[in-house]
Amino acid sequence: MHELHLHYCTFSAVWAKIANIVEPTTFGSLAEVYDRCDSCHDDTPLGNLSLLLNRAYTQLVGQPSSQKEGAIRVIPFDPDNSYLVQKMEDSPGIVGGSMAYGGPTYVQRVRAWIAQGALNN
Ligand code: HEC
């Protein structure tokens, strides 16, 4: 009985991981993330980046950073090299301050959206 229970736990943990990876993350579902940002990234945006939901997509995908030369804010399918993610994770090499306002859960959702192609959905 004990052993069975253990197996069940391991299985559901693995399943939760798989489900998390394949679960689609739309751009629209990130509104809650950008709510934590648009007090500064608004119509007169700091860092020349507006994260108001009706503007954020065109400001992010394929757009160069205003602060770091050569950096691209969002590179579809490539979360690691997307400057948005690097700022949210306070990675070494960023210019300016950390943007880790939402915490790890929020970054994971942004990563998932980019990994799925950074669609305007
Ligand atoms: C308290 C104000 C404030 C908040 C809140 C804030 N930011 Fe920023 N952000 C700034 C300032 C100032 C800059 C420009 C200087 C810098 O790059 O650090 C900036 C720059 C950035 C940049 C770099 C833009 C570029 O083109 O190089 C990104 C990406 C960014 N913020 C993302 C976010 C995200 C995502 C959030 C919410 C999770 C957020 N910020 C919340 C003030 C803020």
Q: What is the pLDDT of residues 17-76, one digit of tens each?
A: 555 555 789 999 999 888 899 899 998 999 999 999 888 999 999 999 999 999 999 999
**Count of residues in the chain:** 121
The protein residue with its alpha carbon nearest to ligand 1, atom 12, reads 46
Q: What is the pLDDT of residue 9?
A: 54
Q: Kindly report the pTM of this predicted structure.
A: 0.86
Sequence spans of domains, the chain: 25-115
Mutate to test the pocket of ligand 1, among 50, 87, 94, 111 (most ligand atoms within 8 A of CB): 87
Strand partners, 61: 74
Distance in Å, CA 6 to ligand 1 centroid: 44
- pLDDT tens digit string along 94-108? 999 999 997 888 999
Cα R_g (the chain), whole angstroms: 17
Q: For all residues of the chain together, what is the average pLDDT?
A: 87
